[in-house]
Copies of this chain bind each other. A is one copy, B any other.
Amino acid sequence: MDVYGRFISLAEWKVLIDDWLANPGQEPFYNLKPDAREAVYDAIFIGGGASGRFGAAAMIARGGRALVIDKWPFLGGSCPHEACVPHHVFSEAARELDYAREFSGEYWYPEWDVTKASILEIRDMFMKNRNTGHSIMNFQSKEQLGLEFILGAWATVVDKNTVEVDGARYKCRNLVLCVGARPTPPDIPGITKKGVYDWATILEDLDYEPNRCVVIGGGKTALEYGSFIQATGCPTTYLSRSPILGTKGLHHVDDDIRDFVVRMLKHRGSVIHEGAEPLEILGEDKVTGVRFRDADGNEQIISTDFVFLGTGERALSGQFGSLGLELNDRGQIVVDAHMETSVKGVYACGDLIDGPMEMFKARKAGVCAARNIMGETDYTFDYSDFPDFLHTTYEVAWTGLSESEAREKYSNVVVIQMPPKGVAPQDCGLPATDGSMFFAFTRPGLNGIIKSIIDADSRKIVGMHSVGFGNKNSFQYLDVLIKQPNGFTIDQMAEVNELFLNDGFPQLHRLRAGQKVLKDL
């Protein structure tokens, strides 16, 4: 379907995408300038997710010409379709359900037993409406950004300057690969049984209401989905080889933060086995339990009708084998700091390459490739350090060093935190973050924790950590401030004009700022 040159509203896109997905095998959506078949694009972006869409937009902003091709009938990729966006819907549900359970029968909250939430129903709400989000991506890309795209079509890379779509060939000077990754099940006997789900299949395939859940994993995805599942009223057990939040790839997690998160998971009723090795998914054709070896080496069996895999993903690099790109031992495409692969003129971005599977990285990698292609060859992108977050029923966010990392690096470390060290959290009713009022006032131990780590010699803040509500977004900008070339000192933090009741950082720093010899607070 040729959509070039005519305005398509958000509402029209919604209908078009709904229809395309309901009736597969339809014609792609073509938004191409008339000379597309003769043109040589500055780059063709294979995959229109975070990397491809932002890369193409950055190229157009700089006067280049980009073509984006995606197998799906929408731009935006897996994020709004099945990954980050549904996780945020589930995390918002988890936070609301957390209140519903914690305040059961108090104030305006009804008795909790009556209203056990349905995972299926919440999932269905997301599924029913997700194309609304997709319609915005298409609208914005077409009407506002002027992207050329072919959506709902498979791109075959003929060579690094030629891509074939539906029998037609398109030429480019550069190729940018942006097709992402997919969850890969761990190698456990029985893992293919019905009743084992990951973040993609829980959306597409779940067709019963789980009664118990075993989460395999102890990292972000495991905790985010596990917290939601527990919050709905479905008792959840974690089997994690590493300590919770101690998995490889999660950097700078502070011990106090980890402890708080684990304590709060347990408070909500979750059971945690750290150092556990899953041995077998039990059941005939449907899951009935999981056999695992616990940290003491003993075998145990947990009955369950639902297993959620919060484990790894694998880059979809296989389809580009003909290009002869260098891959690392996990099948990811190797790129340099310009996002260029081992083959000149071929770039790779997002979850196809090493590093965090996060939006900022995917998007900025696409932008980095585009800027280099457009001649800004001194522009590089370093994603080795970054602010980070996850959801449990809380927002957990951090940037910079953990306390123990800071103590290894600096000889004179000062810590500012709430609740203060040595104080029982359940006695401390000061909301650690902005959105913790009910907890602070009625369940003080549950309201959160904030922590700031300072190199007292330079007075610079070197790490910030928070668990709470309404605190996450700030870490985008705190990350900018503390990583400025000259850093951000306790005395500068004291000058911030806080929006009370805030995350606590400006006021707590202010109480110690100005001291010649800084002290903990």
- List residues of A whose CB falls within 8 A of some B CB: 9-11, 14, 54, 57-58, 61-63, 79, 84-85, 88-89, 91-93, 96-97, 99-100, 107-110, 114-118, 121-122, 125-126, 129-130, 132-133, 135-136, 139-140, 144-145, 232, 358-361, 363-364, 367, 371, 386-389, 395, 397, 420, 423-424, 427-431, 433-435, 437-438, 440-442, 444, 469-481, 494-503, 506-507, 510-516, 521
Residues from chain B with a CB closer than 8 A to the CB of A387 are 497, 499
A99 and B95 alpha carbons, distance in the complex (Å): 12
Pairwise interchain contact A514-B92, C-beta atoms closer than 8 A: no
Q: A133-B430, A360-B499, A477-B478 are in contact. List 15 more A-B contacts (CB 8 A).
A: A10-B427, A58-B511, A89-B441, A97-B108, A107-B117, A126-B441, A129-B442, A132-B441, A140-B521, A387-B497, A388-B499, A469-B470, A473-B473, A473-B502, A476-B502
Pairwise interchain contact B472-A472, C-beta atoms closer than 8 A: no
Partner of A429, one of B133, B145, B423, B501: B133
Partner of A497, one of B14, B476, B502: B476
Pairwise interchain contact A511-B54, C-beta atoms closer than 8 A: yes
Q: A117-B107, A129-B441, A513-B61 are in contact. Are A479 and B502 (CB under 8 A)?
A: no
Question: A101's closest neighbor in chain B, by CB?
Answer: B108
A441 and B420 alpha carbons, distance in the complex (Å): 39
By CB atoms of chain B within 10 A, which of A109, A428, A476, A481 has the most? A476
By CB atoms of chain B within 10 A, which of A62, A430, A438 has the most? A430
A368 and B58 alpha carbons, distance in the complex (Å): 45
A40 and B513 alpha carbons, distance in the complex (Å): 24
A444 and B117 alpha carbons, distance in the complex (Å): 23
Pairwise interchain contact A512-B61, C-beta atoms closer than 8 A: yes
Pairwise interchain contact A58-B510, C-beta atoms closer than 8 A: yes
By CB atoms of chain B within 10 A, which of A139, A427, A513, A521 has the most? A427
Partner of A136, one of B89, B429, B472: B429
Residues from chain B with a CB closer than 8 A to the CB of A85 are 437, 501
A–B pairs, 28, beta carbons within 8 Å: A10-B428, A54-B510, A61-B511, A61-B514, A79-B500, A85-B437, A96-B438, A108-B117, A110-B110, A133-B430, A140-B521, A144-B511, A144-B521, A360-B496, A363-B498, A367-B510, A386-B497, A433-B473, A473-B499, A474-B474, A474-B476, A474-B477, A475-B499, A476-B499, A476-B503, A477-B481, A477-B496, A480-B496
Pairwise interchain contact B500-A359, C-beta atoms closer than 8 A: yes
Partner of A437, one of B89, B435, B469, B477: B89
Pairwise interchain contact B501-A476, C-beta atoms closer than 8 A: no
Pairwise interchain contact B497-A479, C-beta atoms closer than 8 A: yes
> Which 10 A-B pairs give the minimum distances between C-beta atoms?
A132-B429, A477-B477, A359-B500, A108-B117, A10-B427, A360-B497, A92-B437, A61-B514, A129-B441, A473-B474
Residues from chain B with a CB closer than 8 A to the CB of A477 are 474, 477-478, 480-481, 496
Report the minimum CB–CB distance from A359 to chain B (whole Å).
Answer: 4
Q: A473-B471, A477-B477, A497-B479 are in contact. Are A107 and B92 (CB under 8 A)?
A: no
Question: A9's closest neighbor in chain B, by CB?
Answer: B427
Q: A429-B129, A502-B476 are in contact. Are A364 and B116 (CB under 8 A)?
A: no
Pairwise interchain contact B121-A114, C-beta atoms closer than 8 A: no
Question: A494's closest neighbor in chain B, by CB?
Answer: B367
Pairwise interchain contact A88-B437, C-beta atoms closer than 8 A: yes
A499 and B88 alpha carbons, distance in the complex (Å): 12
